[in-house]
Amino acid sequence: MSAHFDGWPHVIEAQQFSRQWIETEFLPTVNDMRHIVEVRECSILKGQKMVVLFYQPSTRTRMSFEMAMAFLGGTVAFSSENAGEFSSARKGETFFDTVKVINCYYPDVIVIRYNRQIGAKFAAEVSGAPIINAGDREPGQHPTQSLLDLNTIFQRRGEIDGLRIAMVGDLKNGRTVRSLSYLLGKFDGVQIDYVSPTDSQMGDDVKDYLKRHNVLFRESRDLREVAPFVDAIYQTRTQTECGASLDRNDRSLGYYIVDRTVVDLMKNNAIIMHPLPRVDEITTDVDDDPRSVYLTDQVKSGLFTRMALLKMILAPDV
Amino acid sequence: MSAHFDGWPHVIEAQQFSRQWIETEFLPTVNDMRHIVEVRECSILKGQKMVVLFYQPSTRTRMSFEMAMAFLGGTVAFSSENAGEFSSARKGETFFDTVKVINCYYPDVIVIRYNRQIGAKFAAEVSGAPIINAGDREPGQHPTQSLLDLNTIFQRRGEIDGLRIAMVGDLKNGRTVRSLSYLLGKFDGVQIDYVSPTDSQMGDDVKDYLKRHNVLFRESRDLREVAPFVDAIYQTRTQTECGASLDRNDRSLGYYIVDRTVVDLMKNNAIIMHPLPRVDEITTDVDDDPRSVYLTDQVKSGLFTRMALLKMILAPDV
Amino acid sequence: MSAHFDGWPHVIEAQQFSRQWIETEFLPTVNDMRHIVEVRECSILKGQKMVVLFYQPSTRTRMSFEMAMAFLGGTVAFSSENAGEFSSARKGETFFDTVKVINCYYPDVIVIRYNRQIGAKFAAEVSGAPIINAGDREPGQHPTQSLLDLNTIFQRRGEIDGLRIAMVGDLKNGRTVRSLSYLLGKFDGVQIDYVSPTDSQMGDDVKDYLKRHNVLFRESRDLREVAPFVDAIYQTRTQTECGASLDRNDRSLGYYIVDRTVVDLMKNNAIIMHPLPRVDEITTDVDDDPRSVYLTDQVKSGLFTRMALLKMILAPDV
C-alpha cells in the first residue's frame, strides 16, 4: 500500500481507504504526529506550499489544516476563506478552469471545500497536484473528518472490530455520518444504530453499501433505547449547512438529544462524539463527563489526522 | 513582576497592568522592539504559532499584530478577517466552544476581536493559550491601543505624571478613551478633560474609577476652551463601530473638531492623537503639523507595542 | 536602467516601462524565475515582508502574487481578500490615510488592487514602500498582466517586433487590453486589430497613444475576418468586473467568440490568449489545441512575471 493511497494522490471520499492502509499506515502515522506537536519543532515539509480554497466558510476545519501545515514546517502559500464570494466563480468561471489555473502556480497540495456536491472529485480529475477534500456540500462526504473520527474511537477503544455505534440526528443530510459509515464498513462485526426521525433517515446509497459489506445496522427513533448498548454515540447537528433541518417543534425532538439522562444510561467505557459545531443537541452539563470527547480528544485528532495526511502525501519517504 | 502580567497570561483590559510593570517592563521592551525593526532580522519567536480571530473586521489592527509576529520571526498560523460571518458562530455555536476547540490545535497565542462586549474576557476563562484582546465591541476596552497610546505620549514627553490630556468626541461609546483613562489612572497628578456633547459623556464606571484613583477630570463642551492648557488632545471618531453617533447636524459639532484654529491655541510641545480611522474630525491641514502624531509615531507605536506584548508573552526570558 | 524602473520604485501602469528595460532586464529575469520554481528552493527574499490589500476580490491574481513571494522565500505578512468590505474604508477613512498607516508598519512592498480607478497611482504618491498595482478598477490598467502577456508572446514567438495581434471583446472597459496596447506600443512594426461591437470600442486615449508611437491599428467587427492573418488572438471577457457588458442578446455576438471555426482559420504558429476568467467567449473544445495558452503557458507566465518583479524590486543586486 503506497503512501499515495494506491497510487492515487487525492483524498476524496471515505471508500477509497483500505483497511490495510488504515491499520498499517494511517493510524501509526497519526500517532507519530502527536509526538511532533509535543516537540513543537519539525521541518519535514519545509518549502512545500499548500493552497487552501474554501468556497464554504469553516473556521474550524480551515484552522486545523493550516495549523497542521505549520506544525510540519510547511507554508500555507495561499488561503481564501470565502472563495465562493471572492473569486472568479462569481464571474462565471467553471471550477475545472479554476483548478487548472491553480495547478499552473505549482502548489504541492490543494485543500478544497467546495460549495456544491462532489467538487473535490471533479477537481481531482484535472489536477496534477494532490487534492484533499475538506468537506463536500451536504449531503456528500467529509473524508478527513471520518478518518479523525475513526482515530478517536481507536485511541479510546484500541480496536474498531465488533463495536456498536449510534449515529444520531439528521442523517439524511449529514456528510460526517455518511463518510464514517463508509469507513466503518471496512471493519468486521461493526454494528450501527441510526437514530433519527423517519424523514431524516440515512440514505439508501450508504445502507446498500453497508449491506454489501455485511455491516449490521438498525434504524430507530429514540436514543434512550440504544444508549445502554453502544460503544459510542455520534451526535450530529440537526441543522445542516445547506439549510435542511429537523423540525425543532417536533415534540419528539428530545428523543435525539444527548443529555444527562442519556449519558447515565451509557456504558462506562463508551464515548460521546460530535463533529461540531454543537448547538443544543448535546447539553453542556455533559461536557465534563469523562466519556465526552467532542471538545477534547476528537478535536485534537483532527489536527493529528490532517498532519498525518499531509505528511503521507508530501513526504511519504521521510 | 512577571512577564506574564502577575501570573495571568492574558491581555484583556487596561486595569490589569500595574504602574511598575508599565515602567520597568513594558516601556523598555517597546523600545527594544524599535531596534529589532531597524535591523529587520529576528527569530526569537521562530516556530511559535499565532491564531488571529477577528469577528469585527479591522485591517489596521489585524495588520499591526501580524506584522509584529513577522518581525519577531513567528508564524501567523491562522487568520480570519471576518470570523463572525464565516465561522460556526453563524451555526449557533457558543464562543466558549469555539475557544476550547482552538486550544485543541495547540496555538501559542490567540488574538481576538469579538463582536460582542467582553468576548476576550470570556475567552480567557476557558483558554489555556494566552488571549490578547484586540478590541471589544464598543463600549468596552481596547487594551493594546491604550498601551500604544501611553507609549506614544511617553516617547514624546518623557513622562506621564502631571500631564493634562483632553479626550474628545463620542466618549460614551469609545473603547479607546475608556482603556486609556484606566491606564492614566495608574499615574500621579494626571488631569483629564473630557470634551463631548452631554449625551455622549464618559461612562460612570470610568469616572468612578478615576475618583477612586485620585485622577482629576473635568467635563466640558468646547475643545477651544481647553486646547491652550493640555499636553495632548486625544481625538476620536464621532461615529463608532457599533453605530452610535454624535448628531452630525448639531450646529455645535464644530466644538469637537481639531482644525487649525484649535491647533494654533495649543502649546508647542503638546501632541495631537487619534486612534484612527479619521474621517473629518481632524482636518487634513493639521496632518503636517509637528505636533500631529496620529499618522506617524502613534501608528508605529502600535507595531512596537504589539511586538513587545508578543515578546513578553511568548519569549519572556529571551 | 535601474532595477527600480528608472529610480521610481513603483509598478503602476504599462507606459512606465521602456523597451530597453523589457528586453535587457525583465524578460531575462522572468526566465531565471522559471528555474527557481523548478528547483523549488530559494531564499533571496528571506525576511522581506509583503502586504497584500485587495479591495476587489481576485483569487487568481492574489494567489499568483502570494505564491510568487513564497517561491522566493519571502513572507506574506498580511493579506486581505476584501479590504473594501472589511477595512476602515467603510468607516470613511481616505485611501491616503490607509497607505500612510500601512507604511508605518515597515512593509517591504505593498500589492494593491483598489476598487476605484487609479488607486495605485494615488498610493504611490504617499508611499515610501514600493507599490505594485494588481489591477485598477476597469477601465484603467493592469500592468503586471500586460507584462505577463508580453512574456507569453515572447516565449512562444521569440520576438515582438512585426507581430500582428487581435484583441477581442469589450475593449472599452477592459483594463488588460488597455495595458497590453500601451506595452506593444514600445515595439516596432506591431499591428493591432481591435475587434468589438461599435459601442465597446477601444478608448481614444489608447488609440491616440498608438498613433503617436506609429503603431498601426484597425477596428473591425468580425473575428473571422482577421483570424487568418494574426499571430495572436487576445480574447477578453464580455462582462467586465465593474458591470459593463456586451449585449449578449446581440445576434452578432458570435462574431466575437473563439470557437473551432475561428481556430481553424488561424496560422499554425499563432496563439490564443485570455486573461481569465473565461466564461463562454472561448469554447472549451479549443482548450486542447496546441495554440491555446490561456490555461497553461499564460498562467504560468503570471507566476514567473510576479516573481521577477518582486525580485527586481526587493533584491535588485542578487
For residue range A176-225, list pLDDT tens digits in order.
999 999 999 999 999 999 999 999 999 999 999 999 999 999 999 999 99
Same domain, C23 and C127: yes
Verify that B125 and B155 share a domain, yes or no. Answer: no
* CA atoms of A70 and A48, how far apart (whole Å): 11
Structural domains of chain C, count: 2
Question: Strand A49-54 relative to strand A131-133: parallel, antiparallel, unpaired?
Answer: unpaired
CB C216: neighbour CB atoms within 10 A? 12
* Residue C7 is assigned to a structural domain of this protein: no
Residues A116, A69, single domain; the answer is yes
How confident is residue A2, by pLDDT bands cut at 50, 70 and 90?
very low
Q: With an 8 Å Cβ cutoff, are C276 and A101 in contact? A: yes
DSSP B73-93: T-EEEEEES-HHHHSGGGGT-
Whether residues B295 and C87 touch (CB distance < 8 A) is answered with no
For the beta carbon of residue C157, count every other beta carbon within 10 angstroms.
Answer: 15
Which SS3 state, helix, strand or coil, does residue A134 take? coil
Give this complex's ipTM.
0.93
Among chain A residues, the shortest Cα distance to C63 is held by A78
Are both A264 and A305 inside the same structural domain?
no
C58, C64, C295 ranked by CB distance to A97: nearest = C295
Candidates B88, B98, B127, B314, partner chain A, best to mutate (most A CBs within 10 A): B88
pLDDT bucket at B119, cuts 50 / 70 / 90: confident
For residue A127, pLDDT beyond 70 = yes
Claim to verify: residue A158 and residue A245 sit in the same structural domain: yes
Catalytic residue among C10, C49, C62, C113: C113
Choose, out of A50, A60, A115, A306, the residue to mutate when testing the contact with B (most B CBs < 10 Å): A60
CA distance B2 to A318: 41
In the set A49, A142, A300, A306, the catalytic residue is: A142
pLDDT > 70 fraction of chain A, expressed in percent and rounded: 90
Nearest residue in chain B measured CA to CA from C92: B279
In a domain, C9, yes or no: no
Q: Has residue A4 been placed in a domain?
A: no
C62 is catalytic: no
Q: What is the mean pLDDT of chain A?
A: 91
Domain check: are B187 and B197 in the same one? yes
Nearest C-alpha of chain B: how many angstroms from C88? 6
pLDDT (0 to 100) of residue C5: 66
Shared domain for A107 and A94, answered yes or no, is: yes
**Distance from the C106 Cα atom to the nearest Cα atom in chain A, whole angstroms:** 21
Q: pLDDT (tens digit, 9 = 90+) per residue, B16-70?
A: 999 999 999 999 999 999 999 998 789 999 999 999 999 988 889 999 999 999 9
Q: Which of A301-305, B45-49, B84-88 has the lowest mean pLDDT?
A: B84-88
User: Is A294 found in the same domain as A172?
Assistant: yes
**Is A7 among the domain residues?**
no
Nearest CA in chain B to A80: B80
Largest pairwise CA distance in chain C: 56
Answer whether B59 sits within 8 Å of C80, measured CB to CB. Answer: yes
Q: Do B95 and B117 touch, CB atoms closer than 8 A?
A: no
Residue C195 pairs with which residues in a beta bridge?
C168, C220
Looking at CA atoms only, how far is residue C221 from chain A in angstroms? 25
- Do both A294 and A147 map to the same domain? yes
Instruction: Return the pLDDT at A219.
Output: 97
Q: How many CB pairs under 8 A join A and C?
A: 83
Catalytic residue positions of B, numbered: 60-61, 91, 113, 142
pTM for this predicted structure = 0.94
Dihedral sign for Cα atoms in the order A115, A118, A124, A127: negative
Is the per-residue pLDDT at C87 higher than 80? Answer: no
Residue of B nearest to C54 (CA): B59
Domain for residue B318, yes or no?
no
Size (chain A), residues: 318
Residue B3 lies in a domain: no
Min Cα–Cα distance to chain C from B142, Å:
16
C317 or A33: which leads in pLDDT: A33
Of A63, A70, A237, which has the smallest distance from its Cβ to B75's Cβ?
A: A70
Q: Per the domain annotation, does C113 fall within a domain? A: yes
Is there a single domain that holds both residue C148 and residue C281?
A: yes
- Nearest-Cα distance to chain C for A88, in Å, is 6
CB-CB under 8 Å, C82 with B239: no
Tens digit of each residue's pLDDT (9 = 90 or more) over A251-292:
556 689 999 999 999 999 999 999 999 988 999 999 999 999
CATH number of the domain enclosing C186: 3.40.50.1370
CA distances, A202 to each of A192, B215, C51, C284 (Å): 11, 67, 48, 38
Contacts of C87 in chain B (CB under 8 A): 57-60
**Interchain CB distance below 8 Å, C58 and A100:** no
Q: How far apart are CA B60 and CA B53, in angstroms?
A: 14
The CB-side HSE value for A209 (13 A sphere, CA atoms) comes to: 18
- How many interchain CB pairs under 8 A, B with C? 83
- Rounded-to-integer distance, Cα A117 and Cα A102, Å: 20
pLDDT 10s digits, B87-104: 666 667 789 999 999 999
Chain C residue closest to A104 (CA)? C300
**Chain A residues with at least one Cβ partner in B under 8 Å:** 37, 40-41, 57-60, 62-64, 66-67, 70-71, 76, 81-82, 237, 239, 241, 276-280, 295-296, 299-300, 302-303
Copy the grid coordinates of residue B66: 501580524
Catalytic entry in A60, A90, A218, A260: A60
Q: What pLDDT score was predicted for residue B2?
A: 39
Predicted confidence band at A116 (pLDDT cuts at 50, 70, 90)? confident
Domain assignment present for residue C4? The answer is no
Cβ–Cβ below 8 Å for C106 and B71: yes
Q: Would you say residue C248 has pLDDT above 70?
A: no
Known catalytic membership, residue A156: no
C307 to A1, B175, B291, C91: CA distances (angstroms): 39, 42, 41, 34
A142 labelled catalytic:
yes
Chain A residue with minimal CA distance to C295?
A101
The grid cell for A267 is: 456504558
Residues of B with CB under 8 A from a CB of A: 47, 49, 51, 53, 75, 77-78, 80-83, 85-88, 91-93, 97-98, 100-102, 104-107
pLDDT tens digit sequence for C154-171: 999 999 999 999 999 999
The pLDDT of residue A313 is above 60 = yes
Q: Which domain holds residue A201?
A: 143-298
Are residue A179 and residue A278 in the same domain, yes or no? yes
Same domain, A155 and A288: yes
